[in-house]
Amino acid sequence: MKYPTVLNQLMEHFRKIPGVGQKTAERYALHILTHFDPETTDAFAQTLHQLNASIRPCPTCGFLTDQEVCDICRDTTRDEAQLIVVEEVKDVIVFENTHTFNGRYHVLGGALSPSEGIAPEDLNIESLKTRVQAGNIQEMIVATNFSEAGETTALYLQHIFQDHPVELTRIGYGLPAGGNISYADEITLNKAIEGRRKMH
Ligand SMILES: [Zn+2]
């Protein structure tokens, strides 16, 4: 006994989400079919449709926006002198949730990994150089993950910015080796920012 094609297709879409297996996909798809009214289902579809049409990376920092530049880059009350460099968009949210940092961010869009073929040109490093060369950034707080790729990326940033008039610091205190920034709690992250150390 098989489900109708469209229902199977919906399950296949859900299964592409990390952590969603066959049973969960089935539950989601059947829930939408049987519990959502038609307006809700249409609104859901509309939202998905608008995702790619309206949201794009901020050309300055790489965070997501539906405007010319993102809210954080536009916010003139934020300190331009401090920049937290992270791997992923969701890491910005994690730091924002600590409510203590009032500088800006730069999203690299991943981390260097020779084994996975991820090279500097695959990351938002040119735009980072451009920002540093503009001269307003005094401190770059490197908040890549404590994985091999994250550490490789931190060392690479240290290397390319060693002759620039910007101080590089690395967050660290309290974060475990191999640790992922996204999973750190707010207190740990606050301590990690406070306990950052100079890289050169
Ligand atoms: Zn931005």
Q: How far is the CA of 187 from the centre of ligand 1 (A)?
A: 25
Sequence ranges of the domains in the chain:
5-54, 64-198
Encoded tokens for 51:
């995702």
Q: How far is the CA of 75 from the centre of ligand 1 (A)?
A: 9
Q: How far is the CA of 183 from the centre of ligand 1 (A)?
A: 23
| 32 in Cβ contact with 41 (< 8 Å) | yes
Q: What is the CATH number of domain 64-198?
A: 3.40.1360.10
Q: What is the pLDDT of residue 166?
A: 94
Q: How far is the CA of 35 from the centre of ligand 1 (A)?
A: 38
- Global pTM value: 0.83
Q: Do the domains spanning 5-54 and 64-198 agree at the CATH topology level? A: no
Q: What is the pLDDT of residue 15?
A: 97
Q: What is the pLDDT of residue 127?
A: 94
Q: If you write DSSP's letter for every residue of 132-191 in order, what string do you get?
A: HHTS---EEEE---SSHHHHHHHHHHHHHTTTSS-EEEE--TTPPTT--GGG--HHHHHH
| 132 in Cβ contact with 166 (< 8 Å) | yes
Q: What is the pLDDT of residue 183?
A: 77
Q: How far is the CA of 27 from the centre of ligand 1 (A)?
A: 37
Per-residue pLDDT of the chain (200 residues; tens, 9 = 90+): 689 999 999 999 999 999 999 999 999 999 999 999 999 999 999 999 999 899 999 999 999 999 999 999 999 999 999 999 999 999 999 999 988 899 999 999 999 999 999 999 999 999 999 999 998 999 999 999 988 999 999 999 999 999 898 999 999 866 666 677 877 788 888 888 888 888 86
Q: Tell me, which fold does domain 5-54 have in CATH?
A: Helicase, Ruva Protein; domain 3 (1.10.8)
DSSP 121: G
Burial class (CB in 10 A: 0-12, 13-18, 19+), 138: middle
Q: What is the pLDDT of residue 96?
A: 94
Q: What is the pLDDT of residue 55?
A: 95
3-state helix, strand, coil in the chain (%, to 5): 45, 10, 40
CA-to-CA distance for 105 and 137, rounded, in angstroms?
Answer: 11
Q: 61: which residues sit within 8 A by CB, 6+ positions away?
A: 69, 70, 72, 73, 104, 105, 106, 107, 127
